[in-house]
Amino acid sequence: MEFRRLGRSDVRIAPLVLGCNVFGWNVDEPTSQRILDAFVDAGFNAIDTSDSYSRWVPGHAGGESETIIGNWLEASGKRDKIVLATKVGEDMGEGRSLRKDYILRECEASLRRLKTDRIDLYQTHFDDEVTPVAETMEAYAALIKVGKVRVIGASNVAPQRLKASLEASKTLGLPRYETLQPLYNLSDRNEFESGYAALCRQENISVIPYYGLAAGFLSGKYRAPADADRNPARASRLKKYLDGRGTLILKALDDVAARHKALPAQVALAWLIGRVTAPIASATSLAQLDEITKAPRIKLTADDLAGLDRVSAS
């Protein structure tokens, strides 16, 4: 399996990242730990979470996913087999913040929950757009200096703020964002391709997109509003894809999947794998995990790619 470098760092990941946002939300701890074991045993090494997962669930305070992962790391002894990615900046009760004191404090909380001494990839989850970018980068530099963080990345940061952050790092001689975690998939293309892609290529920033399956739409399981209603947690998000363009995308995925004796979700992820460093995909069961981990084996042809590109173009 090809392992891909994160930006200019020495950290390498397999071409698929396990999204752990579902842990502690709609996946219980025993199942989460089985999924983590199976993912690593299948040869993959990168898992992605956040301090805020799953604060949106009534009664949750955030940190539930990190806590489950930390318990697994302690019990399994597999810390050295994974690239551990988490995030900071989302509202944990004080509003969104990227102040230096806030980042330093929240990093310590994440380390405690994760039961580890280091975070391999620490990412800005959401930009507060108030804190000077230099202050944020100085916070990350302090964490890298003492070995608590290896590499830093950004997620929901506007293109101009991402560029300003890179410039501040260069000017001040500080570590820079080596990764970007944007919304990007076969259905959601325009924002990344028009706003970020050129900068990422120019600066050699690795791309690790979230919603690789468009909240499950690209799995092909949701083809009508009634299908989406069966998943209340994602119904509103799924329904935005259920239009004429979405129908064409699913038809193209069905056709390519049939040729490769694969599933639509596997084809959608294979399309992404050919364009980015590694997409993020979640699994709520071992069966789902088995499906998504087969995606890197699919070799799409030029005709496959042309057809998928054509129907998904904005």
Provide the residue ranges of all domains of the chain, joining segments of one domain with +.
Answer: 4-181
- What residues act catalytically? 53
pLDDT of residue 231: 81
Number of neighbouring beta carbons within 10 Å of residue 283: 22
Specify the pLDDT at position 69. Answer: 98
Q: Which fold has domain 4-181?
A: TIM Barrel (3.20.20)
CB atoms within 10 A of CB 27: 23
Q: For every one of its 314 residues, what pLDDT tens digit does the chain have, with 9 covering 90 and above?
A: 889 999 999 999 999 999 999 999 999 999 999 999 999 999 999 999 999 999 999 999 999 999 999 999 999 999 999 999 999 999 999 999 999 999 999 999 999 999 999 999 999 999 998 999 999 999 999 999 999 999 999 999 999 999 999 999 999 999 999 999 999 999 999 999 999 999 999 999 999 999 999 989 999 988 888 777 788 877 788 889 999 999 999 999 999 999 999 999 999 999 999 999 999 999 999 999 999 999 999 999 999 999 999 999 97
Best CA proximity match to 207, nearest among 147, 150, 274, 265: 274
Residue 238: the pLDDT is 86
Separation of alpha carbons 193 and 199, rounded Å: 10
Length of the chain as a residue count:
314
Predicted pLDDT at 106? 98
Going across the sheet that includes 177-180, the strands are 206-207, 177-180, 149-156, 119-126, 83-88, 46-48, 17-19, 280-282
| pTM score, whole prediction | 0.96
